[in-house]
Amino acid sequence: MSGKTIDLNLLLAGGAHSILERTLMAECLLAEGYLWSDLERLPPKEAKRLLSEALQFSARRLLEFEFTDRFHGRFRLPSSLN
């Protein structure tokens, strides 16, 4: 591990500020075996990689939520096909 530390606020300045987005990112980090607090102790390159993965995960999940919300009920089979 290098002697450098990372500033999480600086890394998250790209827009990961909503509570839902941060919660989804935390879910992804937990699946990888990490907590937010662990990132500060990791080498910067590894922390950035994990944050990038977590951001991608949260973006995909948010799109899923938006799609479900926007199109909920619009794609029903005609009653004759049920």
14, 55 in Cβ contact below 8 A? yes
Percent of the chain at pLDDT > 90 equals 43
pTM summary value: 0.63
Instruction: Please report, for the chain, the start and end positions of each structural domain, with discontinuous segments joined by +.
Output: 8-71
Tokens of 6: 């990372």
Residues 16-29: tens digit of each pLDDT: 457 778 888 999 99
3-state secondary structure of 41: coil
